[in-house]
Amino acid sequence: MKLKPLYIKNLKVDPPLILAPMSGLTHTVLRQLVAEFGGCGLFYTEMLSARALPNESPESSPWLRGTAQERPLAYQLLVSHAEELEAAIEKIESCGADGIDLNMGCTSALIAKRGGGIALMKEPKRAEAIVRASRKATDLPLTAKIRLGWTMNWNGLRDFCLMLQDSGVDAVCVHPRLKQDRLKRPARWKYIAKIKQLLDIPVIGNGDVNSPQAAQRMFELTGCDGVMIGRAAVKNPWLFSQIASSLSPDLYDNKYPDPADAFKRFIAILENSMEPEYTLPLLKRFTFYFSQNYAFGHTLWNLVHNADSLATATYLADEFLRGVD
Ligand SMILES: Cc1cc2nc3c(=O)[nH]c(=O)nc-3n(C[C@H](O)[C@H](O)[C@H](O)COP(=O)(O)O)c2cc1C
């Protein structure tokens, strides 16, 4: 197979490989690192509270920042009520967003209790009001990221997806797990295929893609228009470059690095892009996934996790990395 560009409204996503929204992980630092390797056609921010956004700015909140390298960049909204949207979307547009995503899949109990994330899949009327209000508020490409719902009910899921399409969503990202699955059981890719057959708008598949072979399998088995990658892109920020060069070798280089260099580069971008109070917590979150590159990765994870400053974490990590082949 060959990769072909995906169009979300007028936004060209080329290659059709997408970095998933992940809170605490897909901030400007990881996105810049992924962009340096190449192969990622669309970046997402982590979920941003629509209620809080009007009072925030890129100066006060690093989660709103995006450099010219991390493009195109879609901002994900965590929203419970349609009334929150206008001001939130205005703020996101002023930050230079290339697209907007509505989070309809977050399984956090607190968020669901407040009516956000996957709670919207239980209340299609409220979800519809949110999509319609978003559509009215912006001409930017609009996506919705969903799970399969609270329990497996294909008719309900089918109607929900058709509602999204009819209400103005330009593409649907499908993370095919139920609420109770969280991230544990394998993603049920057959539902990506069913939703793809159902809809006229593009469908982006997500869940458990961690190699060029898995990306190719997802494209071929589901017919999806794009593949979105989360956790594996934190472990291997060069994964998009590997996938793109494997599926379209004439267009992309495989920029497989020495992982130790990628880790050091993450820290350099981190220091350059984030205020000091954020750097150590963000390095810890990144290292949780990145350390899985090494047979004794738990040692790297422990060293960074227990460090009390960025300088100590960097020093200890460097010692570890010099000791591995
Ligand atoms: C730590 C973490 C944070 C996440 N935060 C978000 C989020 O803010 N918004 C969202 O839609 N999904 C979020 N997700 C879900 C991912 O976007 C993705 O759907 C999931 O990890 C499955 O894809 P993967 O198997 O490629 O990781 C998060 C996942 C993880 C592991």
Please identify every residue annotated as catalytic.
106
- Residue whose CA is closest, atom 31 of ligand 1? 231
Give the per-residue pLDDT at 184: 86
Q: What is the CA(248)–ligand 1 centre distance, in A?
A: 26
Neighbours of 144 (CB within 10 A): 28
Question: Do residue 225 and residue 190 come from a single domain?
Answer: yes
What is the per-residue pLDDT across 184-195, written as a single tens digit (0 to 9) for each? 899 999 999 999
Which residues contact residue 88 at a Cβ distance below 8 angstroms, ignoring those fewer than 6 apart? 48, 50, 51, 53, 54, 77, 79
Do the domain assignments include residue 52?
A: yes
Q: Which domain, by its residues, includes 97?
A: 6-247
Give the per-residue pLDDT at 253: 86
Ligand 1 site-directed mutation target among 22, 143, 228, most atoms within 8 Å of CB? 22
What is the per-residue pLDDT across 230-242, written as a single tens digit (0 to 9) for each? 999 999 999 999 9
**Which residues of the chain fall short of a pLDDT of 70?**
325
d(CA 228, CA 7): 14
Q: What is the CA(21)–ligand 1 centre distance, in A?
A: 6
Task: Please tell me whether residue 145 adopts helix, strand or coil conformation.
Answer: strand
* Peptide bond preceding 141 in cis form (omega within 30 of 0): no
Do the domain assignments include residue 253?
A: no
User: In CATH, what number is assigned to the domain containing residue 150?
Assistant: 3.20.20.70
Give the per-residue pLDDT at 294: 95
Give the per-residue pLDDT at 89: 98
DSSP code of 149?
A: B
Q: What is the CA(25)–ligand 1 centre distance, in A?
A: 9
Both structure tokens of 228? 């979105």
- Residue whose CA is closest, atom 10 of ligand 1? 21
**Cα 52 to chain centroid, rounded:** 20
Question: Do residue 170 and residue 264 come from a single domain?
Answer: no
Question: Do residue 166 and residue 295 come from a single domain?
Answer: no
Question: Do residue 145 and residue 201 come from a single domain?
Answer: yes
Give the per-residue pLDDT at 221: 98
Longest dimension (CA), the chain: 57
- Of 67, 47, 50, give the one whose Cα is nearest residue 58: 67
Give the per-residue pLDDT at 127: 98
Give the per-residue pLDDT at 325: 64
Neighbours of 311 (CB within 10 A): 11
